[in-house]
Structure 1
Amino acid sequence: MPSHAPNRPVCHHCGGFCVVAITTGGRHHDGSRILLRVECRACQGTGRTLPAAFVWTGR
């Protein structure tokens, strides 16, 4: 019997991939790569958006 997961609104800016790691090309002293973590500006790294009814508008 299939289990149904509730539909969660995914951020349309990042498609649910809210944090990415970008390499700078450099390496640390131990040989590991230097990475920058960048979060989606629209969802602030959550990967989800709020439905329009729950978005705070006005004062």
Structure 2
Amino acid sequence: MPQHVPTARICRDCDGFPTVAITTGTRHPDGTRATLRVTCTACNGTGHTLLVALTRAAGAR
């Protein structure tokens, strides 16, 4: 079977899952778990990365 190449640049740090919920191990008074939402710092929570040329051009201003 042919392999499909993704057209979008997926962030290699988060692999396209930019926001995750991490449980802290504690519970709220109603019994639900306390969680923290953490976003990927490499892509700023978008899940995609810019091309290197675009990033360099934006930084050169």
TM-score tier, shorter chain, comes to 0.7 to 0.9
TM (norm. structure 1) is: 0.79
4+ aligned runs moved over 3 Å, structure 1: none
Higher helix share: 2
Alignment of structure 1 residues 19-30 onto 2, 5 Å: 19-30=19-30
TM (norm. structure 2) is: 0.77
Separation of aligned partners in 1, 2:60 and 2:7: 28
Following superposition, the deviation at residue 13 of structure 1 comes to: 1.0
Q: CA RMSD in A?
A: 1.4
Separation of aligned partners in 2, 1:29 and 1:58: 51
Are residues 1:49 and 2:49 paired?
Answer: yes
Q: Which runs of 5+ in 2 are unaligned?
A: 1-5
Residue deviations 1:1-59 (CA, integer Å, cap 9, x gap): xxxxx711000111111111111111111111000011110001110001123221213
Q: Number of paired residues?
A: 54
Q: Which runs of 5+ in 1 are unaligned?
A: 1-5
